[in-house]
């Protein structure tokens, strides 16, 4: 349940607007820690406390949608086209999600602001992106990534389609990075393990919509793995179908739809979900348009009844 709705259930005298207001003021805690995001997911056994006498925290606004926020962790809904982090050291003036989070942290805690990078998304990949608001949270979140305890789910629109409804791609990725590209490693070259799980959500004539779950998080992993298997992402200018036919797409149709994990400092479940953005929906609609969806089991058009 959303935190604002859970709070109203405990305090029926609160309106929806008032509940959001006291949460944003920092007057509500979950399991002993202040949570300032009304949409924060809580369970039926979570200890939720409202202290109307607690001094309101300084309000900080961020120019990006917030999927989850508490005192130590922030998950944003990054739009396509915005860099996650600077492209090189010394380019801190670039407009990036990280720069905006640092500004947010300065407003949130003027005396000791902190923003830490946890992971990255490619510039033209949209969706859930996490940052830490304390060094302890940064180290703990990075450990979750290293230990594969972070549930990361993506949605990809691809040309071609897997024969099976689900499967796993286990192909190491070479350490070499040349011309903005990575490649699946040959047996004799240095490489890092890379594992991608996929499931076909919907089939079309000439393409498919895939749910993708990352087990490892190498740079360009999903884009490279899917292209190597013969299912390049629609609109991908490096590994995919940009300029090679298919539905119109202004960028690669890859979206980080979910980040879910146990909060490393509180033990609470964090589940940050990002809806499909408009450009993805338009490309998906174009793929569907004028075609008959195929049966997920047989790959053939369903029988008419």
What is residue 228's predicted lDDT score, i.e. its pLDDT?
Answer: 95
Quickly state the pLDDT bin for 1 (edges 50, 70, 90): confident
Tell me what the pLDDT averaged over the chain comes to.
87
Q: What whole-number distance in Å separates Cα of residue 70 and Cα of residue 48?
A: 14
Contact 263, 255 (CB under 8 A): no
pLDDT, tens digit (0-9, with 9 covering 90-100), for 100-126: 999 899 888 888 899 999 999 999 999
pTM for this entry: 0.75
If one counts every other C-beta atom within 10 angstroms of the C-beta of residue 156, the result is 28
pLDDT, tens digit (0-9, with 9 covering 90-100), for 142-178: 999 999 899 999 999 999 999 999 999 999 999 888 8
What is residue 293's predicted lDDT score, i.e. its pLDDT?
Answer: 38
Burial of 146 by CB count in 10 Å (0-12 exposed, 13-18 middle, 19+ buried)?
A: exposed
Place of tokens 């109203």: 8
Please list the active-site residues: 122
Nearest to 140 by CA among 33, 262, 264, 261: 264
Quickly state the pLDDT bin for 60 (edges 50, 70, 90): low
Q: Which residues contact 291 (CB under 8 A, 6 or more apart)?
A: 204, 205, 206
Higher per-residue pLDDT: 207 or 304: 207
- Is 296 a residue whose pLDDT tops 70? no
Q: Which residues contact 56 (CB under 8 A, 6 or more apart)?
A: 25, 26, 27
Q: Mean pLDDT throughout 59-82?
A: 87
- Do β-strands 195-204 and 116-117 pair in parallel, antiparallel, or remain unpaired? unpaired
| Alpha-carbon torsion angle 38, 44, 46, 49, nearest 10 | 60
Please state, in angstroms and as integers, the Cα–Cα distance from residue 244 to each residue in 86, 209, 211, following that order: 30, 18, 23
Write the DSSP symbol of residue 160.
S
pLDDT, tens digit (0-9, with 9 covering 90-100), for 214-258: 999 899 999 999 999 999 999 998 998 665 556 668 899 999 999
Q: What whole-number distance in Å separates Cα of residue 275 and Cα of residue 281?
A: 10
**Phi, psi (5° rounding) for residue 149?**
-105, 15
Quickly state the pLDDT bin for 292 (edges 50, 70, 90): very low
pLDDT, tens digit (0-9, with 9 covering 90-100), for 14-56: 998 888 888 878 899 998 888 877 888 888 889 999 998 887 7
- Is 261 a residue whose pLDDT tops 90? yes
Write the DSSP symbol of residue 30.
E
Q: What whole-number distance in Å separates Cα of residue 94 and Cα of residue 85?
A: 9
- Residues making up the chain, counted from first to last: 305
Please state, in angstroms and as integers, the Cα–Cα distance from residue 271 to each residue in 75, 168, 302, following that order: 10, 24, 35
What is residue 249's predicted lDDT score, i.e. its pLDDT?
Answer: 83
- Is 92 a residue whose pLDDT tops 90? no
**% residues pLDDT > 90 (the chain):** 62
Q: What whole-number distance in Å separates Cα of residue 100 and Cα of residue 81?
A: 14
Contact 132, 118 (CB under 8 A): yes
Alpha helices in 178-302 (DSSP H): 221-228, 278-288
């Amino acid at each position: 349940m959303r935190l604002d709705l859970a709070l109203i259930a405990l305090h029926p005298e609160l309106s929806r607007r008032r509940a959001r207001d006291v949460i944003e003021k920092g007057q509500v805690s979950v399991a002993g820690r202040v949570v300032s995001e009304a949409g924060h997911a809580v369970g039926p056994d979570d200890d939720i406390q409202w202290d109307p006498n607690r001094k309101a925290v300084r309000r900080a606004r961020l120019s990006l949608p917030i999927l989850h926020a508490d005192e130590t962790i922030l998950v944003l809904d990054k739009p396509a086209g915005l860099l996650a982090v600077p492209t090189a050291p010394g380019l801190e003036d670039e407009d990036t999600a990280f720069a905006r989070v640092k500004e947010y942290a300065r407003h949130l805690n003027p005396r000791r602001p902190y923003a830490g990078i946890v992971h990255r998304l490619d510039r033209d990949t949209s969706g859930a992106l996490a940052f830490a608001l304390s060094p302890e949270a940064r180290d703990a979140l990075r450990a979750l990534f290293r230990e594969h305890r972070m549930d990361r789910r993506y949605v990809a629109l691809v040309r071609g389609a897997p024969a099976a409804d689900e499967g796993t791609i286990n192909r190491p990725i070479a350490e070499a990075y040349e011309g903005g590209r990575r490649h699946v490693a040959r047996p004799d070259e240095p490489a890092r393990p890379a594992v991608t799980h996929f499931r076909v959500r919907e089939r079309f004539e000439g393409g498919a919509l895939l749910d993708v779950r990352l087990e490892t998080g190498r740079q360009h992993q999903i884009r490279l793995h899917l292209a190597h298997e013969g299912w390049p992402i629609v609109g991908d200018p490096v590994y995919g179908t940009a300029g090679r036919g298919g539905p119109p797409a202004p960028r690669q149709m890859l979206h980080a739809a979910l980040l879910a994990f146990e909060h490393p400092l509180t033990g609470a479940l964090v589940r940050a979900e990002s809806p499909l953005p408009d450009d993805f929906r338009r490309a998906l609609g174009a793929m569907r348009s004028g075609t008959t969806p195929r049966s997920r089991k047989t790959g053939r058009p369903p029988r008419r009844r």
